[in-house]
Amino acid sequence: MKSKLIILLLIGAISVFGLSGCVAPVVVGAAAGAGATYSLTADSVSDAVDAPKEVIVEKFINIVKKRNGTILFASITEGSVKAEIGNVKLFLNAENVTKGAVKFTIRARKGYNLLPDKETAIEIYTELSQGLK
């Protein structure tokens, strides 16, 4: 009975988003056993971690530099970075949600900043989250 209800809710949500022309609904994934959760959209990955905002920004900048990217803008106090790796533009936004937790979002766009690049966002997210362990 529960599985039928979940399927009906999922179909309903997909049809509502599909008919309204909205971006695909957020998919929430959970890493089994690790206790880590993140949200994923067409061009971004978000997560909340127990790490200072400054550390997240610095590690993101190091990842971009390691991939021969260019930092276009960086502000540790704002928790914001704009960068470019090849023809992909990356955006990091980090904000404090509680005293110890920081929510960060990595967005990736390719082309003339028109097309989402989910794969690159996930790659950068994976590298960043592994670096925070």
Angle, CA of 59, 78 and 114, to the nearest 5°: 80
Q: What is the pLDDT of residues 19-74, one digit of tens each?
A: 444 444 443 333 333 335 667 777 889 999 999 999 999 999 999 999 999 999 99
Q: Around Cβ 72, how many Cβ atoms within 10 Å?
A: 13
The CATH-assigned architecture of domain 27-131 is: 2-Layer Sandwich (3.30)
Give the integer Cα–Cα distance in Å for 102 and 104: 6
Q: What does pTM read for this prediction?
A: 0.70
Rounded Cα distance between 38 and 43, Å, is 13
Reported as type and span, the H/E element at residue 129 is: helix 118-131
Lowest mean pLDDT among 15-19, 45-49, 76-80, 94-98: 15-19
